[in-house]
Amino acid sequence: MATGTSGGGDLALQSHLNRHFEDPGDDRTVSPSPNALVLYCPAFDGIDIWFVKTKDIVDRTKKEAPGYSPMLNRFIAGTKGEYAQPLDHRAKLLELAADIGRNKRLPAREVAAFQEIISQFNRRD
């Protein structure tokens, strides 16, 4: 069972909806999804906050920040699924993008463009 109020209600709901909350090392004989939800005024507006289409991420990266295209697997879990699953919180992904940009000497405009693309994840957190 999961319960929560406001933002906590959203997180409780996400524990059921969003596979990103699962750890690949978890015991899969026990379902990570709660069997009941009690939500008090959950602050949930769903797709806009948590889910971004993989095609949008891939296409925008190729167009606006091509230097990051071969490294997308460091930011999202694969490029084949319908929805992109970020591999970390947005703030950490933005830091990683800046670090990679510096280390690979990518143009500042490309780093900024990719950071804007990554900012689609959890944009209201």
pLDDT at 19: 67
pLDDT at 123: 53
pLDDT at 45: 55
Classify residue 65 by burial, with Cβ atoms within 10 Å: 0-12, 13-18, 19+. buried
Q: How much is the pTM?
A: 0.60
pLDDT at 78: 81
Radius of gyration (Cα) for the chain, nearest Å?
A: 16
pLDDT at 117: 93
Spans of the chain, pLDDT less than 50: 47-49, 124-125
